[in-house]
Each structure stands twice: as C-alpha cells, then as structure tokens.
Amino acid sequence: MREIAVRLFINERYMDSYGKGVFNRATYNGSIELHNPNQKYLVDFYDYAHWEFRAKSDAQIKVLKYLEQTDLPKAPNLLMSWILHYDTATKSKTQIPGFCAYLQDSQELHLHIDDADHAVMEDWDLRVRQCKNAGAKLPVLLATNVALDNWQ
C-alpha cells in the first residue's frame, strides 16, 4: 500500500458569497500527498447534497449511481469531495475520477482514486485525527498510513 497523507484545513471562505446567491459551502479544504511516485491531489469537502450537485462529468455521475446503492449517502455528518490532481510544476488542477468520503462521527476517511494518467488506481480507509498544533495555514485534521516524522 502506498504511503499517503491527507491534511484537512478549515475553509476560511466557508459561506462567503462569490456571486449573487452563490456561497462557498465547502467546510474543509485539503491536500492528499502520495509517495513512490510522488503525486498531489486537492479536495474540498461538502455535505452530500451540495457535493452531489457539483457532479458534472460522466465519471462523477457513475460514482453517484454507485453510491446510491450503498448506505453511505444516509450516514450522519457525512462530508464528500471530488478530487483534483495538482501538478506542482505547472500549478494546474485536473479533475480525476474518484471521491473522498469523511464520516465525521466515526472519524473515518475513505478515499478512492482512479487516475490512470498518473498510475494511481487505489482505495484507502484511514482514521482521521485532530492535529495538536492547528492554526493559520496548519491542518486541523490529519489522516495517514505512515509516520510523518520522515515525510518530505
């Protein structure tokens, strides 16, 4: 299993308006970092109804239809995110097939990435922990499958 670190930050723009009657409803923003080879992804966590509404591609509609056949959408305090690949060299963001589910009550995170272009086609189930030193530009939540002491 590949080493992974998911960091979640409080969205400072939560409920700010960016148009008439249009609000930023993402509770958390975050990053997903993978090792061997290194890849970076970005996530924005919404409640299920707002996340579902943001589905645009055929791959996202396929995910919604799959999830409709599970109990996941009925889970209380569920936050969901689509996934963007982040190219650190060009700073470009590309929508990729996959999703991330964060069950706040049980502190579980399920991540599914199906990114054939970057050879990342995996699932992870991770435990989410509160960060001790949360603050400005520091994550409030962390999910990982490796000790981050030597993470670079």
| pLDDT by position in tens, the chain (length 152) | 789 999 998 776 544 544 444 445 688 889 999 988 899 999 999 999 889 988 999 999 999 999 999 999 999 999 999 999 999 999 999 999 999 999 999 999 999 999 999 999 999 999 999 888 766 678 888 999 888 766 55
The answer to whether the beta carbons of residues 45 and 30 sit under 8 Å apart is: yes
Beta bridge partners of 87: 92
CA distance 142 to 10: 12
Number of domains in the chain: 1
pLDDT the model gives residue 148 = 74
Q: How far is CA 77 from CA 37, 72, 85, 96, 107, in A?
A: 33, 11, 26, 25, 10
Structural domain that includes position 104: 4-150
